[in-house]
Amino acid sequence: MKSQSSSQGTISFATAISPGDSIDNYGVGRVLFSHRPDFKKGDLVAGLLTWGEYSIVKEGSLLNKLDPNTGFPLSYHVGVLGFSGLTAYGGFFEVCKPKPGEKVFVSAASGSIGHLVGQYAKLLGCYVVGSAGSQEKVNFLKERLGFDDAFNYKQETDLKSALKRCFPQGIDVYFDNVGGRMLEAAVANMNSFGRVAVCGVISEYTNATTRAAPEMLDIVYKRITIKGFLASDLMNVYAEFLSKTVEYLKGGKLKTIEDISRGVESIPSAFIGLFNGENMGKKIVKVADE
Amino acid sequence: MKSQSSSQGTISFATAISPGDSIDNYGVGRVLFSHRPDFKKGDLVAGLLTWGEYSIVKEGSLLNKLDPNTGFPLSYHVGVLGFSGLTAYGGFFEVCKPKPGEKVFVSAASGSIGHLVGQYAKLLGCYVVGSAGSQEKVNFLKERLGFDDAFNYKQETDLKSALKRCFPQGIDVYFDNVGGRMLEAAVANMNSFGRVAVCGVISEYTNATTRAAPEMLDIVYKRITIKGFLASDLMNVYAEFLSKTVEYLKGGKLKTIEDISRGVESIPSAFIGLFNGENMGKKIVKVADE
């Protein structure tokens, strides 16, 4: 994975992009100066940092020290080992309550969270299908990440039929990153007692007219649960998430994809690209070398 | 309550109407002849019966013996002590997981299930608001059933504003009987960790174009849960429901409303009336006297 290797050993200060944050963002950095005895010069930290090569972190902000000896690229701490990973792990296991053998659908499956959800689901023993916006992404999901199937939603004239084709036995769990028509199609294909975890709503970020109007009769008769969640509510599984994910990464059972651009000047295009599906995996801006 | 008293002591065979059933329906009857030793001539029974003065119940059908000495009208066994009551009780307590002091909204609040949900919520110590389709129903909810507030949705130009007015502190629990625009407005007014129990979708029964398209960003950021359910999944609380409800009824803490029409010839208009909001409380057709 190109993006992954390009970041190894060189990032001192990477900032992850997420649409909700206008000023601060989740990033990794090295302490240059500190008033607090528990953060010393040279310590590696992850937390809410401002966009830029240097950042002043005030008392009370989210900031954690990193273990410099994990052997993972620093970028992992804003992605697979950071909030993206926690969102994927906690959202899947805690919100979806999946069982081995269940049929799992993930939209935006090549995105920062989706590509992890699909792999966690495979590790549990589920049948996993992802949707993505290009043939390249679809191939990647199937050939590199072990998804059972995947489809390019832009090539489908009818999403309900696409899901019917991929899930002849119906969907038990839908990890929803997009909302809109895809959510409607997933509900239409769900089995009784199906669960939808609503993690993101890409369709509404870019076009408010595409709001999902799922068939409520399906929701009643199939006893479907639709549940929104945020990673901040999942801190109770943080320790479990971290130990399992480190174990999977070290054992080669989990792959992460990163899409790293360089320099503060790349921030606007990186940010806009998120809404156009330009990224593959976690979008990261590397604003400074060590 | 006119309909309630008119049924006392006279019904031998009442059948409840629910839109999902085309042939059988939930009713009360007296056994005339039986091949089974556990059902004797003269026993009162409740279960799935065909529309008509006489019914043949096959082996394996849902049929339970009734205690003839409860002192309640027989009609109660198709309403407040039957599936309507179980749906209200189990849907509220099991699906909504309410806490005392929480703010509860019930739509179709004067309907067979809604009028019970609102009273269960008051008994728990919640703040309760109901919506209904006439001023008469609104008055009944506030003056006779103890709802904290109620509004006539037909008189409101903007449902979001109506709910904002009734819930200045937001909604924690929405017991949804109608779907459509009301569900959207409720989601817009929900507090964080709000719960929606989807019991029925009147708006979709009559007009499939009124499907709800709630703001999914609200669902994510406010971590809202929307959950469909059926009474048949709530049998685990049946014993608790029955003992509590009998206690409440005997103590005068719970009132039930019934809307009884007479004769098989009233079935079509009774059925159609359900979709036009003509009934108040549980719609029952009394097809035979004893």
**Predicted confidence (pLDDT) per residue in B111-125, tens digit:** 999 999 999 999 999
| Bridge pairing between strands B44-50 and A44-50 | unpaired
pLDDT of residue B91: 97
Q: Which residues pair with B63 in a beta bridge?
A: B47
Which of A220, A229, A230 minimises the CB distance to B228? A220
pLDDT digits (tens, 9 = 90+) for B74-99: 889 889 999 899 999 999 999 999 99
pLDDT at A281 over 70: yes
| pLDDT at residue A180 is higher than 80 | yes
Residue pair B89/B254 in contact (Cβ under 8 Å)? The answer is: no
**The predicted structure's pLDDT at residue A25:** 78
Across the interface, which of B201, B216, B221 has its CB nearest the CB of A216?
B201
Instruction: Check CB contact under 8 Å for B228 and A233.
Output: no
Show residues of chain B in contact with A211, CB under 8 Å: 213-216
Residue A20 has pLDDT above 80, yes or no: no
CA end-to-end span of chain A = 22
Cβ atoms of residues A9 and A73 within 8 Å = yes
Whether A204 and B215 lie within 8 Å, measured CB to CB: yes
Phi-psi region of B125 (alpha: psi -120 to 50; beta: other; left: phi over 0): left
pLDDT digits (tens, 9 = 90+) for A245-280: 999 999 999 999 888 878 778 777 777 777 777 778
Residue A15 is predicted with a pLDDT of: 46
CA angle B231/B236/B242 to nearest 5° reads: 75
Q: What pLDDT does residue B71 have?
A: 87
Cβ contact A222–B228 (<8 Å): yes
Q: What's residue B11's pLDDT? A: 33
Dihedral sign, CA of A180, A183, A188, A192?
negative
Q: Chain A closest CA to B170's CA: distance in Å? A: 18
For the stretch A118-156, pLDDT in tens is: 999 999 999 999 999 999 999 999 999 999 999 999 999
Domains, chain B, with CATH or none = 2-79+256-289 (3.90.180.10), 84-231 (3.40.50.720)
Using 50, 70 and 90 to split pLDDT, how confident is the model at B139? very high
Would you list which residues of chain B are within 8 Å, Cβ to Cβ, of chain A?
179, 183, 198-201, 204, 211-230, 233
**Is the ipTM, as predicted for this complex, more than 0.90?**
no
Q: Is B189 helix (H, G, I), strand (E, B) or coil?
A: coil
Which of A202-211, A222-231, B240-249 shows the lowest mean pLDDT across its residues?
A202-211
How do residues A72-87 score in pLDDT, each as one tens digit? 988 898 899 998 999 9
Residues of A with Cβ-Cβ distance to B199 under 8 angstroms: 220
**Hey, are the CB atoms on B225 and A221 less than 8 Å from each other?**
no
Higher pLDDT, B15 or A288: A288
Report the SS3 class of residue A127: strand
A28 forms beta bridges with A14, A46
CB A96 within 8 A of CB A175: yes
Residue A148 and residue A166 in contact, taking contact as beta carbons nearer than 8 Å: no
Structure confidence by residue, pLDDT tens digits, B36-66: 888 999 899 988 887 777 888 888 777 888 8
Angstrom distance (rounded) from CA A11 to CA A74: 6
Q: Report whether pLDDT(A18) > 60.
A: no
Chain A environment of B183 (Cβ under 8 Å): 216
A284: left (phi over 0), alpha (psi -120 to 50) or beta: beta
pLDDT score at B207:
65
Q: Is the pLDDT of residue B16 over 50?
A: no
pLDDT, position A198:
96
Residue A201 to residue B220, Cβ atoms within 8 A = yes
**Cβ contact, residue pair A222, B214, below 8 Å:** no
Q: Which residues of A touch B94 (CB under 8 A)?
A: none
Nearest to A213 among B198, B213, B233 (CB): B213
3-class SS of residue B78: helix
Closest CA of chain A from B226, distance in Å: 5
Which segment of A137-146, A173-182, B210-219 scores lowest on mean pLDDT? B210-219
* Mean pLDDT along residues A94-98: 97
At B6 the pLDDT is 27
